[in-house]
Chains A and B, each alone.
Chain A
Amino acid sequence: MQGKMHGKQMAFWLLGCCLAAGSLGAQTNDDINSGLQFNFSTPGARSLAMGGAFLALADDATAAYTNPAGLTNLTVGGSEVSLELRQWRYSNVFTQRGHSFGGPSGVGVDTISGIQQGESKSEVSGLSFLSLGYVLPKGFTIALYRHELANFEAGIESEGALTGVGDRRGNGERRLFRIFPARSTLDLQVVNYGFSGAYELANRISIGAGVSYYQLDLASRTERFFRAEQDADHDGDVDADDDRLSRQPGGFFGPPDLLGDNLNNVQTQEGDDDAWGVNAGVLWKINAGWSVGAAYRHGPDFDIKARYVYGPRGENPGQPASPNLCTPLQTRNCVGGQGILHIPDVYGAGVAWTMSEGKTKITLDYDRVQYSQLVKDLINILAREVNDFERSDYKVDDANEIHLGFENILGIGSQLVATLRLGAWYDPAHTVEYTGPDEPLRTRFRPGEDEIHGAAGVGLVIRENLQVDAAVDISSRIKTASLSFVKFF
């Protein structure tokens, strides 16, 4: 479990590294950097519709993950089983083409000033949450659950941007680089199996804690295609004929040529690991109207393996950029190796205001997601960084998320209770950013953008014992739809 890359950052890193790794020109591809998404939103369609603001409410079995202290709410209503299906639609933004740190040369495809982003879509769905909340005598409450912490797929093809000023022969104000055109795929899934328990102390204060067994399944592959020869026609001279050939597909100034014989290097990352995590929470129902809650979740650390191998067009076909493998302790003179994927810890607090005999609720949560853990044990997977890697050049800020939720019972009948929910939350940018001096890396690892999520949903309770909820959460990058069922006993 040593040398892990932090979740998103690590995936970014690994993918970025894999994509970026290249000889000579050291063109890396950071297109996938912004692709990885961890699902830190709270489970349950009801919670989703309320913008994830659920810490101080936590009044169903999803509390087992969100705030285990809330499980004591079940002592009033009884045991329950819940199931949730989710569908995620991701919009993966990456550096597609263009020219940064200098103007375009006007040669071949190098005619675009500035960076143009590409966008690919992916869609994943599955059983995201399953739980059993059970009330024991004496007021103890326990829950068993399965939760998909992350479920993500991405596939991108980037054309490869250019950076710097000069010509392809290395002459000029700053060295001109072409980021290798690349094709990347990523499949990431993190599932946890958890057990939580809670007990209500005096004065309406409940405490809860849980332990989770996490399983990681990570697979990514990035193929970079590029012909980097200065003497493209192999006639012994670097002349005008070579410049002409460099504008052909696969050349320095040419459009991408993603054919196998043009493969320059391949990066892969694999993770098939398990780990343990814990969570804990407290809930104080101040009175019938107000409650406050707080929770902490410790993210697991997973071992992953990253590899870099030159392709037929690479410097040493079939060999890595360095014979040494990196570890969290060895970051220089190495490439690939064993890293650690740190799933960020999350802690937060919230307040809930309940009115009209439970018919109306307004909730507000603050969550701090420690995304900075993603780069804590970053390892190098870029060929260009074999000797220059500085972990401190990569950073991602912790995120201060604000969640706001609203729920209103529209009508109560003996057979049906209908509910409307609305929510919104602020999702600060949390992509890995390169802050060092290397221009191509700054082009690849660019700062992300803050996002606002809007959420809405409806719920029905049928004959007092079956709850059906539907919700959507929409932002510019992720659209989540959820359908959940809760059976009361």
Chain B
Amino acid sequence: MIRRIGALLLPLIALSSIPAAGAGEDDLTPLLKAQTVMISVSRESGGTEAGSGIVLCQDESQAYILTARHVLYGKPQGTAHEADASEITRIAVSFFTNLAPQVVENKEERVITKQRAGKDRDLLLLSIPLQSVLPATAVLSTAPAGSGREAQGGEPTVYAIGSDQGQGRVATSWAFAPGKLIRQDPEFLYHSAPITPGFSGGPLFDESGALIGINVSITNGIEIGAEPGVQYGQALPIGPVIETINKWLPGNCLRNVAPVREIAYETYRRAMRAVSIKDWPEAERLMGQSLQYLPQEGGSVHLQGMRYTTYLPRYHLGLAFYKQNRCGEALREWGRSETQRAIQDDKRYDKLRKFKKRCVATLRREIQKAVPTAGEVR
């Protein structure tokens, strides 16, 4: 277990240095991509198509990947375009930044176990041989998709990760697509993340990085009462999906998922220890890591014993900067509205105001020193 935790944390730390694409540069993107695989399928007809999948968990020898059935077999059963499984000549499962070696199956060597989830569900569970320990597997959302933000008004943010097919339908990289959750019903989640066919079978995450759905198709807005002519992503909600496939998963699979939030909280606990013993450089490093894992502040973190505290990595990162006389960086972190909102009801808010005031004064003095007086110019 210790080996496993260590193996999980080390690559995560390494992941933190991976540049992320687009808007998610300072958020969970690398971690979410690490959970997502690209699936390339070659057929006798000569074509190669790409889809995506999400790693639910892994044990000593296998990784369990959830994807859409049509990624391998084409259109859902019963439609005119369903592919014949015997036409598949090669399946390749690739991991983000080669976190694990690519797993390849061809007609001569069958190594991937495939479990269809019923006749009318576009789901497929793959179990592939894997010795490498992946840095992250999916953490399932414990709440209905979007329930947190809907209560606050506004559309919840979602992230889709999938294969960026590039030109010629050959998957080349992992794409990150942020969007909003537009609508949901018991069968599907509809979102505005701009997904392409390569996202098929790939994950849909909520703002905290929890898995909320599996992307299966794209639909026109007019069909869901949204803006006509606009394409929206369509995903299977993860709750019913898990109910369907749980029987094929090892008993400890969903308990052993490496939860992003847990890793973030564990890092935050270590960071709070650094704060407590006034090791400010270490506090800065660990608070920064916590933010990479879980940028959204708020929620209770268990520190130890009966001590719980609000998850405030940005506030404490600012504090670490402040204690190291780096007021500019401190003010930048404190300036984030989330921090102020999270602590506005407790005494830390008064401290924050005091620190900010001192920082502003310090910066003014530094600016005054830096700006030459008229006499000096002369």
Contacts and interface: CB of A to CB of B under 8 A. Distances in A.
B357 to A, nearest CB: 23
B87 interface: no
Given A287-B5, A288-B266, A357-B265, A59 B277 contact: no
A59 B300 CA distance: 18
Interface string B265-287: 11001001100111100000000
B302 interface: yes
B310 interface: yes
Interface string A417-436: 10100000000000000000
A287 B1 contact: yes
Given A75-B276, A135-B276, A417-B308, A357 B302 contact: yes
From A46, A286, A488, residue with most partner B Cβ within 10 Å: A488
A286 B2 CA distance: 8
A76 B306 contact: no
B189 to A, nearest CB: 27
A73 B302 CA distance: 12
A236 interface: no
B276 A358 contact: no
A196 B303 CA distance: 22
Nearest to B259: A357
Contact of B277 (A57, A139, A461, A464): A139
Given A76-B307, A417-B308, A464-B308, 7 more contacts: A73-B304, A73-B305, A76-B303, A135-B277, A358-B302, A414-B300, A464-B346
Interface string A449-467: 0000000000101011001
A77 interface: yes
Report, as a range, how many residues of chain B touch the other chain: 20 to 34
A138 B278 CA distance: 8
Interface in A51-103: 57, 59-60, 73-78
B309 interface: yes
A463 B347 CA distance: 10
A412 interface: yes
Interface of A: 46, 57, 59-60, 73-78, 135-139, 286-288, 357-359, 412-414, 417, 419, 459, 461, 463-464, 467, 486, 488
Contact of A464 (B262, B304, B310): B310
Q: Closest 7 CB pairs between A and B? A: A59-B305, A358-B302, A77-B307, A76-B304, A77-B303, A73-B304, A76-B273
A466 to B, nearest CB: 10
Which of B266, B272, B303 gathers most chain A CB within 10 Å?
B303
Contact of B305 (A77, A136, A287, A464): A77
A304 B307 CA distance: 44
A414 B5 contact: no
Contacts of B304: 59, 73-74, 76-77, 358
Most A-side CB within 10 Å, residue of B2, B269, B306, B346: B306
A286 B272 CA distance: 20
B269 A76 contact: yes
Contact of B306 (A46, A78, A139, A413): A46
Contacts of B279: 137
Nearest to A467: B306
A461 B307 contact: yes
B266 A419 contact: no
Given A76-B272, A414-B300, A463-B346, A137 B277 contact: yes
Contacts of B269: 76
A381 to B, nearest CB: 46
Contacts of A137: 277-279
A138 B2 CA distance: 25
A139 B282 CA distance: 13
B306 A60 contact: yes
Contacts of A488: 307
B338 to A, nearest CB: 15
A136 B306 CA distance: 21
19 contacts: A46-B306, A59-B304, A74-B304, A75-B273, A75-B276, A76-B273, A76-B276, A76-B304, A137-B277, A137-B278, A139-B277, A288-B266, A413-B300, A419-B306, A461-B306, A461-B308, A464-B307, A464-B308, A464-B310
